[in-house]
Structure formats: structure tokens, C-alpha cells
Amino acid sequence: MNVLSVRDLTVEFRTPGGRLRALDRVSFEVGKGRILGVVGESGCGKSTLINAILGLLAENGEITSGTIRMSDGRDLTKLGDAELRAIRGQRISTVFQDPMGALNPVLSIGRQMRDIQYRLPLSRAEKDARSVEMLRKVRIPDPESRLVQYPHEFSGGMKQRIAIAMALMMEPELLIADEPTTALDATLEVATIELLKELQRDIGCAVLFISHHLGVIAELCDAVIVMYAGAVVERGEIGTIFHHPAHPYTERLLECDPGRLHERVGRLPTIPGEIPDLRQRPAGCIFAPRCHRAEPRCAEPPPDRSVGPGHVARCWLAGETAEARA
């Protein structure tokens, strides 16, 4: 059963230069207790995807089509503010990229953790006890006395662990992590990833994990979706994608520096060319101008081709590429 299933999600922003399609018919699902990775270059729509799921799109943004369903079948795109708020922090929790800014600087950690539990019919002391327990789980030393401290009194790694503790405190079905480790140095990153994995197993929640790190994705995730210019160009099980990519974009990502994928230090490699202006999308494949395999038929909109079990690529050449490589 799926904790989250996104179907044909399209998001557009109204901008002075016209409508900008930031997500283009995005589809994927996150199975119960699974970890789904999301990779893609900067500006490909990763944060937009999260905001659309959370119902927190900027004022000029709008979901123009598609559905986002929870496990109970409810479509998040149809819910009102109050219903969405009831889901946020309760059934879907989020850890954001910037550990420095993610916590309120003038409220104590204890206060912020208490506020998150505002829905629970517990006393202040009981809520604090839960907070302490959660901080202990993320290995904050001496959590009782640190509850009264403020964010600036913690190191960056600690702050990110506190943010994780906060996100998991209500035992959500789905944890969204938007590049939770990008701001941390390599050793801290490893520790944080391991901690996240451990807690995920404990709580049994599903995770939508966004990262620039192919290595981290390979390490942590069960499946992955590859995004390019607002489209999911390929999705599938982690092994399939890494060993038998069906989309030329994924191929290029992996080819660029395959040896470093397992080193964790490998940042998303760069591909010649730039992401096109999303306000003027071409009729055909949006990757075609940068694609080393582009053909005349790529001027037509490419289909989402099923290449194998759970493996889909938005490319005219998809099945053929895989066969050719096989």
C-alpha cells in the first residue's frame, strides 16, 4: 500500500514573464516504510514538489492538474487549509535543508518541541518528557538541561538532529527531507544519514529524501526518481536505475563520474548546457537540446514508457536504449 501517490501533478507559477510550469505531469508513489530518493539539478522543481505536497506553495503558485493521495485515499490537492494543516506535522513531517534557519531563534528548543505537540491532550511536563525522549533518540547529550536552550547554543549538526527529532516526534507516516545534510560536512553527513535510517526503521515511516548526492541516495534509498526541468524523467528501484538507466539524462548523470557514486563525496555531476527557460517549454522533450541521443521524433512530446517492473522513463528511446545496452 502506498503512503503517498502522486499522479500527473502539474504546478505553475504566475511570473511577470508569463506562466512558469515548475512541475510537469509528475507521477510517483512512496510505499509504506520505503525510502524514495529524489535527484535533480538545482531548479528542477524538488522544493516545488514538496511545497505542493504540503499545500505550502508560494502565493503565485498553483496546482493546475493532478492528484496527491494519502494512504486513506484523500486527495491533498482538494483539501482546505484546515484539513491540510491537520495533516502537516502529524501525518507528513518535514526536515528542511537549512539547519541554521529552520528553528526559531528566540524560542527555546523545549518551547518549540512543545508547540509541535499542541494537538496532544498532555500536560506541559508530559510533553517535555516526550521531547526529552526524542532528543535522546537523536543523541543530544543531556537533553533535560538542553530543553531550555536556544538554537544558537547548538552546533549545526545538533540543530539538524533536533530538526529530525521534531519531525519524527509525532510519528508521521511520511517524512519529507529536503536536502537535510547538504549544509553539513562529510562526517556529520554520514552520521546524520545513518541516524535517519535507524529512526526510520524504528518508527516505520516512509521517507521522501531529496538530495544532490547520488552517493547518499544510493546508500539510503530503496527507489529513486530523477527529475529534470520539472519532469520526472525516470523512476525505478535503486539498483535498476543505477545499473540500467533508461533515460539519457540519468545515463549522463551516472556516466559523468560513476566511480565516485559510492564515495558519498560525489556531487551531482554537471552536464553541458543549461536547464531551459521553464516559461517557454518546447513542445517535445525538454531534455532534447542537451541530449546526446536526440532524434527527430524528440520534437514530439515523449511518452512515459514502462521499461520494467516499476521502472518508467519519459523518453522515446527508453525501451530501445535499455535493449541496446542489454
Ligand X SMILES: Nc1ncnc2c1ncn2[C@@H]1O[C@H](COP(=O)(O)OP(=O)(O)OP(=O)(O)O)[C@@H](O)[C@H]1O
- The contact set with ligand X (CB under 6 A) reads 13, 15, 20, 22, 40, 42-48, 58, 60-61, 278
Options 39-47, 99-107, 223-231, 278-286: segment touching Mg ion (CB under 5 A):
39-47
Chosen from ligand X, other proteins, Mg ion, none, partner binding at 13 (C-beta under 5 to 8 Å by type): ligand X
* Smallest distance from ligand X to CB 110, Å: 31
Q: Taking CB under 8 A as the rule, does residue 96 contact other proteins?
A: yes
Which residue, 63 or 103, has its beta carbon nearer to other proteins? 103
CB of 104 to other proteins, least distance (A): 5
H or E segment to which residue 160 belongs = helix 156-168
Residues 45-64 touching other proteins, rule: CB under 8 A, are: 54, 56
Strand partners of residue 13: 20, 61
Residue among 27 and 47 whose Cβ is closer to Mg ion: 47
d(CA 258, CA 251): 10
Q: Of residues 112-151, which lie at the interface with other proteins (CB under 8 A)?
A: 115-116, 118, 150
Using CB under 5 A as the binding rule, whether residue 47 contacts Mg ion is answered as: yes
Three-class SS state of 213: coil
- CB nearer to other proteins: give 93 or 211: 93
Q: How far apart are CA 219 and CA 96, in angstroms?
A: 20
Question: How far is it, in rounded angstroms, from Cα 87 to Cα 128?
Answer: 22
Q: Where are the beta strands (DSSP E) in the chain?
A: 2-15, 18-31, 35-39, 61-70, 92-95, 174-178, 206-210, 223-228, 231-237, 304-308, 311-314
Contact partner at residue 65 from ligand X, other proteins, Mg ion, none, CB < 5 to 8 Å by partner kind? none
Q: Which of 2, 27, 71, 90 binds other proteins (CB under 8 A)?
A: 90
In the chain, the amino acid numbered 193 is I
Among 60, 86, 171, 265, binds other proteins (CB under 8 A): 86
CA distance 229 to 132: 42
Q: Are 53 and 68 in contact (CB under 8 A)?
A: yes
Least separation in angstroms between residue 66's CB and ligand X is 16
- The span from the CA of 282 to the CA of 289, in Å, is 10
Q: Which residues contribute to the site for other proteins (CB under 8 A)?
A: 54, 56, 84-90, 93-94, 96, 98, 101-108, 115-116, 118, 150, 152-153, 163, 166
